[in-house]
Amino acid sequence: MSVLLAAPKKMIELTVDGEVVRVFEGSTILDACRMLGNEQPTLCYGDTLTPVNVCRVCVVEVEGARTLVPSCSRKVEAGMVVLTDSERVRTSRRLVMELLGSSVDLSTAPDALAYIEQYDAKPDRFGPDAATVVQDVKVDNDLYVRDYSKCILCYKCVSACGEDHQNTFAIAVAGRGFDAHISTELDVTLPESACVYCGNCIAVCPTGALMSVPEYEKRQAGTWDAENETVVSTVCPYCGVGCNLELHVQDNEIVNVTSPHDHDVTEGNLCIKGRFGYQYVQNRR
């Protein structure tokens, strides 16, 4: 039985924070860091998405480079000397978190909150009049809500809706500069847009700007109980593709459905039926 094998990949040696590491050619600095267990902060990076390197929280210092470089997308080169915790790196990461924290509601963004603490960021340093992206929550359908006051513009939802996975292209970044925002065409509501409610955008949103209606309502009502949530893996009850589901259950009720990112069939993606079509089970109660 013949299985075609790609040519074996070359190994590249580099130094990260003084430690020598060897990784496959084509790996990123972030990959190399992870090989060493040296976790870097990331916000716009997604394990199933093409890196867009826009949040800049993962920047590292590379000896000889004029500026800092994004570890999530920069490919390793032989002999690279990388610093992930220099003063220069820490300053950039801290300020990036201050810029985000001062302009965006990060209250449901656990990673971002952790980085603010880790880098001792003070988002309020810019004063109470600092411009923010605060705006009304968009509730225009029964499946998920969009709260762009919490949007850090990481592009992940756009990538998931676009060529990386869903290829529906219902949303894109519109406007420019500080006014740049995630938008449907002409900012029409989701039901008027091309959205097919696969929810693959929710699955990658790092800040809770995109949230299922059950989660949103429970949070509003104060009955969200993440601590007592169980997650059970199973297979979607609909078509024959065999998508793996993770049922997030609180108090014998499914509150969210996700799919494992590391499963080859879905890479974390689902369709409307898989992500939102579970309610019939509970309607029998």
Partner 1 sequence: MPDLRLLNAEPSDAERIAIDAVLGAGNGANNRTARDDRTKRHLLLPALRAAQQRVGWVSEGALGYASRRLAVPPAEAYGVASFYALIALEEQPADVTHVCTDLSCMLKGATVPEGAHPSPCLGLCERAPASYRTIAGEQPVEEQIPAVGPPLPQAGQSGLRLLRRIAAGVDPESIDAYIQTGGFESLRHARELGPEAVLREVTESRLLGRGGAAFPTGVKWEAVAKQQALPHYIVCNADESEPGTFKDRVLMEQDPFALIESMAIAALATGSSHGFIYVRAEYPLAHRRLQNAIDLARSRGFLEGFDIELRIGAGAYVCGEETALFQSIEGFRGEPRNKPPFPVEVGLFGKPTAVNNVETLFNVLEVVTDGGEAFSGIGTKDSTGTRLFCLSGAVARPGLYELPFGATLRELLDLAGAERPKAVLLGGAAGAFVGPDLLDIRLTYEDTREAGVTLGSGVVIVYDESADLVGALLRIAEFFRDESCGQCVPCRVGTVRQEEALKRLAAGRAHEDELQTLAELAQVMQDASICGLGQTAANAVASAIVNLKVFAA
Partner 2 sequence: MFGAGGGTSSYEELRETADLIILWGSNARDAHPIFFHHLLKAVHRGAKLYVVDPRRTASAQWADLWLGLDVGTDIPLANAIAREVITAGLVNEEFVARATTCYDAYRESVEPWTLDEAERVTGVPADAIRELAHAWGNSRYPQMCWTLGITEHHNAVDNVLALINLSLLVGGVGRHGTGLQPLRGQNNVQGGGDMGAIPNKLPGFQDVEDDALRAKFDAAWGVTIPPKYGLHMTDMFEAIEEGTFSALYVIGENPAQSEADQTRARKLLSSLDCLVVQDIFRTKTAEMADVVLPASASWAETEGTVTSSERRVQRVRKALEPPGDARDDVAIVYELAQRLGVDLGSPRPEDVWNEVRTLSPMHAGMSYKRLEELGGIQWPCWDETHPGDQFLHGRLWDNVVKNPAPFTPVKHSPPVDVLDAEFPLRLTTGRRLESFNTGVQTGGFSSPLHVGGEALLVSPEDGARYGLRDGGRALVTSRRGAVEAPVAFDNNLRPGLAFMSLHFPDLVEVNVLTIDATDPKSGTAEFKATAIRVEAIA
Tell me if 170 contacts partner 1 by CB under 8 A: yes
The one among 14, 23, 68, 116 contacting partner 1 by CB under 8 A: 68
- Give the nearer residue to partner 1 in terms of CB position, either 187 or 262: 187
Residue 153 interaction partner, one of partner 2, partner 1, none, beta carbon < 5-8 Å per kind = partner 1
Q: If binding is defined by CB under 8 A, does position 3 make contact with partner 2? A: yes
Site for partner 1 in 177-236 (CB under 8 A): 177-180, 183-186, 193-194
Q: Which residues contact 192 (CB under 8 A, 6 or more apart)?
A: 184
Q: Of 178 and 238, which CB lies nearer to partner 2 in the complex structure? A: 238
Residue from 91, 107, 132, 234 in contact with partner 2 (CB under 8 A): 234
209: left (phi over 0), alpha (psi -120 to 50) or beta: alpha
DSSP 88-108: HHHHHHHHHHHHHHHHS--TT
What is the 8-class DSSP label of residue 181? E
Q: Is the dihedral of CA 58, 63, 68, 71 positive or negative?
A: negative
Decide: is 171 part of the binding site for partner 2 (CB under 8 A). no
In angstroms, rounded to a whole number, what is the distance separating the alpha carbons of residues 8 and 46?
26
Using CB under 8 A, which of the segments 82-90, 145-153, 172-180, 250-258 binds partner 2? Answer: 250-258
Residues in region 45-64 near partner 1 by CB under 8 A: 53-57, 59
Report, in Å, the least distance between residue 230 CB and partner 1: 36
What does the alpha-carbon distance between residue 203 and residue 112 come to, in Å, rounded to a whole number?
A: 17
Identify the three-state secondary structure at position 24.
strand
CA pair distance 108, 86, nearest whole angstrom = 29
Which partner, partner 2, partner 1, none, binds residue 129 by CB below 5 to 8 Å per kind? partner 1
* Kind and range of the H or E run holding 253: strand 253-258
Q: Provide, rounded to whole angstroms, the least separation between the CB of residue 132 and partner 1.
A: 10
Q: Which of the residues 87 through 116 are near partner 1 (CB under 8 A)?
A: 88, 91-92, 95-96, 99-100, 102-103
What is the C-alpha to C-alpha distance for residues 228 and 88, in angstroms, rounded to an integer?
41
Identify which of residues 152 and 245 has a Cβ nearer to partner 2 in the complex: 245
